[in-house]
Amino acid sequence: MQRPDYTALPKILETMNREGKFTLSSLVRNDGFSIASVVSAGTDKEVVAAVSSFITDSAERVRKELMLGEIRDISLRCTEGKAVFKKIGKGTSALILAAVMPKGVRYHSRPIGKAATKIGRLLGM
């Protein structure tokens, strides 16, 4: 089996950011380890990774307790913008695709979905 080209991941995130007008994006493992990220200067990518893992873990507990099925994505809407966390894959090998955008961005599903599909194919998920 050929090893995936991990250098393509930041390019996928950059394209997603450009198409969606996102300010930052990150691909994170469930345990909070950052695999790839495209963040602005002054943003700590390790904090983004840790927060992504924490939010996804918390949402996972809620969905289990309320028997809601599998998580597709999580949206956090705030006064100055929003953050969206999308799960790629299933189980313990699932990854989290995080995107942060300013409040003026209305349509985020398509660029995030396209990036998630590309990442899933690249990594064989």
Residue 21 Cα distances to 25, 30, 101, angstroms? 11, 25, 7
Residue type, 59: A
Locate the DSSP E strands across 17-114: 24-29, 34-38, 73-78, 81-88, 95-102
Q: Is the pLDDT of residue 30 over 90?
A: no
Which residue in 43, 61, 62, 56 sits closest to 100, CA to CA? 43
Q: Which domains does the chain have, with CATH numbers?
A: 21-103 (3.30.450.30)
Q: Are 94 and 86 in contact (CB under 8 A)?
A: no
- pLDDT given for residue 72 in this prediction: 82
Cα gap 8→14, rounded to integer Å: 10
- Express each pLDDT in 36-66 by its tens digit: 998 887 788 888 888 888 988 899 899 899 9
Give me the chain's average pLDDT, please.
88
Tell me the pLDDT band of 85, cut-offs 50, 70 and 90. Answer: very high
- To the nearest whole percent, how much of the chain has pLDDT over 90? 46
Q: Is the pLDDT of residue 92 over 80?
A: no
Q: Which residues pair with 85 in a beta bridge?
A: 74, 98
Tell me the pLDDT band of 1, cut-offs 50, 70 and 90. Answer: low
